[in-house]
Amino acid sequence: MAIFWVTECIPLYLTAILPVVFLPLFGILDSNAVCQLFFTDTLIMFLGGLFVALGVEYSNLHQRIALGTILVVGCSPRRLHFGLSMVSCFISFWISNSAATAMMCPIVKAILIEMDVQNAFQVYMTQEEERMEEGDPPHLSKVSMAFYFGVAYSSTIGGTGTLIGTGTNLTFKGLYETRFPNLKEKVDFPKFIMYSMPFVSVLNVLLVFLTLQITHMGLWRPKSDVARQVKRGSINKATTKLVLQERYSALGRWTCHEIQVGVVFVFMILLLFFQRPGFMKGWADVLNTKQIGGASPMLLTVIVMFALPTQYTFFRYCCKGPPFPGRSMDACLSWIFLHHNTPWGLCFLLGGGFALAEGSKVSGMAKMLGDSLSFIIVMPSSVIIAFIIVVSLFCTCFSANVAICNILIPIFSEMAVTVKIHPLVLTFPAALAVSMSYHLPVSTPPNAIICGYGYIKTKYLAVAGILPTIWAFLIVYLNSISWAHVVYPTIKHLPAKQYLEK
C-alpha cells in the first residue's frame, strides 16, 4: 500500500480500501473488524469538521472575514502580504487548509489583476526573465508569487494549529488512540491547541512570512529590483484598497444566515474546548460516565445548521390566514451543496490508514519495523526526535501527507515502545512535520491549488519551500523537547507495560 500511495498507480482512495480485501483473505483480521475501522469516532469527527466548514462557505462568511481583515491591516504590498498570510492561517485553524487556500486564491488574483492594470509593480515576468511558448499563460513575477506562496504556506501551517485543521491531525489522533487506548495522555481538542498553536503555528507562520518578505519582496535589501517594485506598489495602495472595498461592499450588509453560522461556529469551538479541558471538569465528564468522543459535538453542530433557517420571514404568517407561501425556507446548510462539495474519498483514505495500522499491529509487522530501528536506542532521545522529524519532512515531500501519516505513525509508535520513550514524544512531532509540505504540488492540496490557479512552475515552489522547511524542522524540534513537556508533564516517563498494550 505504501508503494501504491507514493506512486499513485491506482487512485489514493482505491488503495485505501485494499485492507478490506486482503486483511481477511490473509487471516489477519475478520471483515467486520476491518469495516468498523472505516467508521470510527475520529473519522466522523473529521467529516463533521468538513460539514461545518462547508456551512461557513455556504453562508459566504469566510469571504467577509477575509476581506474585512485585509482592509483593516492595510493595502500596501507588504501589508497585503501580511494580511493575506495571517487570514489564511487563521481560517485554516477551523476549516481544511485546502478550503482556506481555495477561498483566498480568487482574492489574490483580483488584487494582482488590479495591480497590473494600475502598473503598481511588475506582476508578470518578461520574456527575457522566463521564456514562454505561444499559448502559455503569463508567468508570475517574484513579488506576485510571494502572495500565492504566503497563502498556501500559511494555510498549511494553520492546519497544524487545531485538531480539525487538517485530516493529518485526526489521522494521527485515530492511529495513536487505536494503538494506545489505555494511555492517560489523550490527543483532544484543547491539548492539541496548547501543544501546537503557540509555536508550531503562530511563530512558524510569522517566520515564513518574514522569509518570503526577504527572498521575494526585498525586505532589508532596498537596492534590489523587487524592493523597488514593492516600494512603487506602496504608492498605489489607494487603488488596491478601492478594489477590496468594492468586493467587500458587493457582499452587502450582514445577513441573518451569516450571523447564525458565525454563532453556531463559535458554539462548536466552545463545545470542543470545554468537553474535557483538563484544568476543570468538562461537560462530557458531568453528563455521564460514558466516553463521549469528538464526533458527538461536531455532528450536533451540523444538525443545528440544517435545522436553522437562513431567515425568519415565516413569522409574519403565524397570525395570518391563507394564502401561505408555497415553498419551504432554506436552511443554513444545504444537503445538495454538502453532498457535491464533500471530498468523500478522504473518508476512505483515513479509514484505510486505521485499518492498515491495526493490521500491522495484529500481524506483528509494525513491531518488527520498530524493532529494526532499535539501533538508535543508544542515542539520546533528542537525537531520536530530530531523526523522526527529518524522516517525516522528507517523506511528505513526495506523497500526500495523510497517506504518509498512515505509514509512519504506526512505525514510530512501535519504535517508541522499543526504545522506551513515551509514544507521544515521537508521534506528535512526526504528525506535525508530515503536514508541513512546501516543495511539490503532490505533497499537499494548498500547493497544488496555487500551482494550478497561479500557473506557478514546480521549480519555483521547490526553491521557495527550502527555508520554510528548515524553519519547520527547528520549530517542531524545539517545541517537542521543551513546550511539549509543559503541555504533557507526564511524557518524560515511560508508561507501565499494561498501558502500552491494547
Domain residue spans in the chain? Answer: 2-124+134-500
pLDDT over 60 at 499, yes or no: no
Q: What is the pLDDT of residues 330-360, one digit of tens each?
A: 888 899 998 888 878 777 877 887 787 778 7
pLDDT in tens, 235-275: 777 777 787 788 888 888 989 999 999 899 888 888 877 87
Residues 62 and 56 sit within 8 Å (Cβ to Cβ): yes
Q: Where are the beta strands (DSSP E) in 297-410?
A: none
CA distance 338 to 347: 15
What is the per-residue pLDDT for 351?
A: 81
Contacts of residue 429, Cβ cutoff 8 Å, sequence gap at least 6: 385, 388, 389, 392, 476, 477, 479, 480, 484
**Looking at residue 389, what is its pLDDT?**
93
What pLDDT is recorded for position 321? 62
* Cα(327)–Cα(312) distance, integer angstroms: 14
Mean pLDDT for the stretch of residues 372-388 = 81
Distance set, CA 284 to CA 48, 253, 383 (Å): 18, 38, 39
CA-based nearest residue to 301, from 103, 53, 6: 53
Reply yes or no: is the peptide bond before residue 323 cis, omega within 30 of 0: yes
Residue 483 near residue 199, CB atoms below 8 Å: yes
Which tens digit of pLDDT belongs to each residue from 40-60?
A: 777 787 788 778 878 888 888
pLDDT in tens, 286-320: 877 677 777 888 889 899 999 998 887 766 666 66
Look at the chain and count its residues.
502
Q: DSSP secondary structure string, 68-107?
A: HHHHHH--SHHHHHHHHHHHHHHHHHHS-HHHHHHHHHHH
> 430-474: per-residue pLDDT in tens?
999 998 988 877 677 788 778 877 888 888 888 888 999 999 999
DSSP-assigned states of every residue in 337-355: HHHHHS-THHHHHHHHHHH
pLDDT at 502 over 60: no
Alpha carbons 470 and 482: distance in angstroms, whole number = 18
Handedness of CA 111, 117, 122, 123 (dihedral sign): positive
Looking at residues 92-100, what average pLDDT do you find? Answer: 80
Judge whether residue 30 has pLDDT over 70.
yes
Contact in structure between 203 and 475 (CB atoms under 8 Å): yes
